[in-house]
Amino acid sequence: MTNLQEKITAIFPETSQIPEQFQIQPLHQREYLVGGEMRQWAGATQDVYSPIFVKNGDKFESILIGSYPITDEAEAMEALDAAMRAYDNGRGEWPTMSLIERITCMENFLKKMLEKKTEIVNLLMYEIGKSLADSIKEFDRTIEYIYDTIDCLKDIDRNSSRFKIEQGIIGQIRRSPLGVVLCMGPFNYPLNETFCTLIPAIIMGNTILFKPPKHGTLLHYPLLKAFQECFPKGVVNTIYGRGANVVPPLMQTGKINVLTLIGSSKVANDLKKMHPKLNRLRAVLGLDAKNAGIILKNADVELAVKECILGSLSFNGQRCTAIKIIWVHRSIAKKFLNRFTEELEKLKFGMPWESGVNLTPLPEPNKPTYLAECIADAKANGADVINEGGGTTINSFVYPAVLYPVNEKMKVYSEEQFGPIVPVVPFDDVEEPIQYIINSSHGQQVSIFGTNPDQIAHLIDPLVNQVSRVNINAQCQRGPDTFPFTGRKDSAEGTLSVEDALRAFSIRTVVATKDTDANKKIFNEIVEEHSSHFLSTKYVF
């Protein structure tokens, strides 16, 4: 066994070595929420094993951390009926409730969610292997997102003065819901990325079918009762079981008004095609990406290394916003790679609860095999693993591999590896990475590293027309959450941000009349009576 293998083997604890505050009691859940009713499931269940293995002598044993119902198609259909009843063609209690009352419900939910922080953070660590620090960050960021959503809602559309006011017409603009929203999120941010669509969809008056991701289902259970208690019956309905089994029948009914999925483009496109009335479906999608880092000849190499380490390896590269390929000018490639691998060696690997840990076990059981195939394929096509021990795999842990020189024949050149592999391509002319980005089927972000403002300025215009965010001397990232977050081509549909998401899950509607004295009197009274429905959209022109 090499030194690195020994070190990796040593990260897995014996059960008795897990610090007391991080020990976990399995959570065997049987409840699910439909139509405001907490139902008990007596059918098949899914055991959940953590990517954190424990050592038992020479053997590794996976930790069973709980189980949940595999509700089937019949339950999914009941959940759909419940959501449709609660919406009641827009006449239900929730879609007609005033914004002020909806905000109060959300504030109650927020309070209950805060009480569950420790439990949710612990489950995040165990279900997806995210470090304690990042799990706390994910929780806190989600809470902040909800606060910001409430604040933003009070302000949205305040500036409607750009509308031309027709002579003799008075009107009021409001934001109205869209109907039944099917909401699904990814395993890498199972709380935050799901809530960035779930929360705005709820608060805008829609009713919801919520299916959590398979790695990241248990951590939603502490909130099930809060959903039941804080919102009227049928506003939030939960569905468990594999997405591939329960979701297609729902789409085929044609009764889903909004599909919101943060995940892979293949799944999103397949699901959209199943909807019989595509023109009646709104899709709000955050999808895969193959973000490039471009390191120009004159770049500050130290800065580029620091940002590319963060960009490509935070949470083991399992971020949609990760830098998934690095283009480096050939003249500085050696220097960059030497420094990159030196810094990589300093990254701490271990269990998620360890302080300062960067690299942790991977939650997807098939991922180590896929990554090994990517590495083998790159080697067969002429690349080397240039860091010592790159790709070493001990059950659920994969040590990062830096591959160089990568070319277009390799999988890692175009596929989203979504894991700890760093493909590096040398270039002579900056036109090469630009052409790569133009030809890519993805279009989320790019990071340019350089010190010449003119040169960077010259690159921004073509690049910003290919991706949705250009970062200068900084890694790719989603936040701050007030920034529009989207992508071009296969990387997204619709835009998410605190404000954009409120728009994505609603439609602007108008109540108008002729500007006569009699009408004005009636209209003003209506506006007065309905003022709590509008908040900022209380305009009479």
Ligand X SMILES: O=C(O)[C@H](O)COP(=O)(O)O
Shortest reach from residue 190's CB to ligand X, in Å: 10
Could you say which of 122, 149, 194, 321 contacts ligand X (CB under 6 A)?
A: 321
Taking the least distance from each CB to ligand X, the nearer of 68 and 189 is: 189
Q: Select the binding partner of residue 242 from ligand NDP, ligand X, none (C-beta < 5 to 8 A, by kind).
A: ligand NDP
Taking the least distance from each CB to ligand NDP, the nearer of 315 and 340 is: 315
Taking the least distance from each CB to ligand X, the nearer of 32 and 189 is: 189
Q: Select the binding partner of residue 263 from ligand X, ligand NDP, none (C-beta < 5 to 8 A, by kind).
A: ligand NDP
Task: With H, G, I as helix, E, B as strand and everything else as coil, classify residue 29.
Answer: coil
Residues whose CB is less than 8 angstroms from the CB of residue 125 and which lie 6 or more positions away in sequence, other chains included: 22, 52, 131, 132, 135, 352, 353
Shortest reach from residue 478's CB to ligand X, in Å: 4
Q: Of the ranges 171-179, 305-313, 317-325, 340-348, which one interacts with ligand X (CB under 6 A)?
A: 317-325
How many angstroms separate the CA atoms of 124 and 113, rounded? 14
Six-digit token pair at 337?
A: 């790679």
Place of tokens 């109540």: 511
Element (H, E) at 393: strand 393-394
Q: Select the binding partner of residue 213 from ligand NDP, ligand X, none (C-beta < 5 to 8 A, by kind).
A: ligand NDP
Q: Give the Cβ contact number of residue 44 at 10 Å.
A: 10
Six-digit token pair at 156?
A: 């949205």
Shortest reach from residue 193's CB to ligand X, in Å: 5
CA 514 to chain centroid: 46
| Cis before 363? omega within 30 | no
The answer to whether 194 contacts ligand X (rule: CB under 6 A) is no
Q: Select the binding partner of residue 325 from ligand X, ligand NDP, none (C-beta < 5 to 8 A, by kind).
A: none
Count, in order, helices (H) and strands (E) of the chain.
19, 24
Q: Of the ranges 187-195, 337-345, 372-380, 459-467, which one interacts with ligand X (CB under 6 A)?
A: 187-195
Taking the least distance from each CB to ligand NDP, the nearer of 188 and 341 is: 188
- 510, 173 Cβ separation under 8 angstroms: yes
Query: DSSP states of 406-467 as a string?
Result: --TTSHHHHS---SSEEEEEEESSTHHHHHHHHH-SEESEEEEE-S-HHHHHHHHHHHHTTS
Antiparallel, parallel or unpaired: β 384-385 and 488-489: unpaired
Backbone angles phi and psi of 14, in degrees to 5: -80, 155
The answer to whether 187 contacts ligand X (rule: CB under 6 A) is no
Shortest reach from residue 359's CB to ligand NDP, in Å: 18
Place of tokens 């994969």: 398
Q: Of the ranges 50-58, 120-128, 160-168, 315-323, which one interacts with ligand X (CB under 6 A)?
A: 315-323
Antiparallel, parallel or unpaired: β 27-28 and 59-69: parallel
Six-digit token pair at 217?
A: 């289902």
CA-CA-CA-CA dihedral for 192, 196, 199, 205, to nearest 10: -160
Q: Select the binding partner of residue 261 from ligand X, ligand NDP, none (C-beta < 5 to 8 A, by kind).
A: ligand NDP
- 68, 240 Cβ separation under 8 angstroms: yes
Backbone angles phi and psi of 377, in degrees to 5: -65, -40
- 343, 309 Cβ separation under 8 angstroms: yes
The answer to whether 324 contacts ligand X (rule: CB under 6 A) is no
Terminal C-alpha separation, the chain:
77
Could you say which of 324, 339, 469, 478 contacts ligand X (CB under 6 A)?
A: 478
Amino acid at 139: F
Residues whose CB is less than 8 angstroms from the CB of residue 509 and which lie 6 or more positions away in sequence, other chains included: 173, 174, 175, 176
Task: Identify which of 415, 410, 360, 362 has the alpha carbon closest to the alpha carbon of residue 385.
Answer: 410
Taking the least distance from each CB to ligand NDP, the nearer of 121 and 492 is: 492
Taking the least distance from each CB to ligand X, the nearer of 276 and 479 is: 479
Residues whose CB is less than 8 angstroms from the CB of residue 175 and which lie 6 or more positions away in sequence, other chains included: 156, 157, 204, 502, 503, 506, 507, 508, 509, 537
Taking the least distance from each CB to ligand X, the nearer of 288 and 499 is: 288
Taking the least distance from each CB to ligand NDP, the nearer of 171 and 243 is: 243
Q: Of the ranges 4-12, 388-396, 414-422, 474-482, which one interacts with ligand X (CB under 6 A)?
A: 474-482
The answer to whether 319 contacts ligand X (rule: CB under 6 A) is yes
Six-digit token pair at 218?
A: 């248990």
Shortest reach from residue 328's CB to ligand NDP, in Å: 23
Taking the least distance from each CB to ligand NDP, the nearer of 227 and 427 is: 227
The answer to whether 449 contacts ligand X (rule: CB under 6 A) is no
The answer to whether 188 contacts ligand X (rule: CB under 6 A) is yes
Q: Select the binding partner of residue 410 from ligand NDP, ligand X, none (C-beta < 5 to 8 A, by kind).
A: none
Taking the least distance from each CB to ligand X, the nearer of 50 and 321 is: 321
Taking the least distance from each CB to ligand X, the nearer of 45 and 131 is: 131
Q: Select the binding partner of residue 477 from ligand X, ligand NDP, none (C-beta < 5 to 8 A, by kind).
A: ligand X
- In the complex, the residues that contact ligand NDP under the rule CB under 6 A are 184-189, 193, 211, 213-214, 242-244, 247, 261-264, 267, 271, 286-289, 320, 416, 418, 492
Task: With H, G, I as helix, E, B as strand and everything else as coil, classify residue 170.
Answer: strand
Taking the least distance from each CB to ligand X, the nearer of 71 and 445 is: 445
The answer to whether 411 contacts ligand X (rule: CB under 6 A) is no
Q: Select the binding partner of residue 479 from ligand X, ligand NDP, none (C-beta < 5 to 8 A, by kind).
A: ligand X
Residue 180's DSSP bridge partners are 207
Q: Select the binding partner of residue 211 from ligand X, ligand NDP, none (C-beta < 5 to 8 A, by kind).
A: ligand NDP
**Binding residues vs ligand X (CB under 6 A):** 188-189, 193, 319-321, 477-479
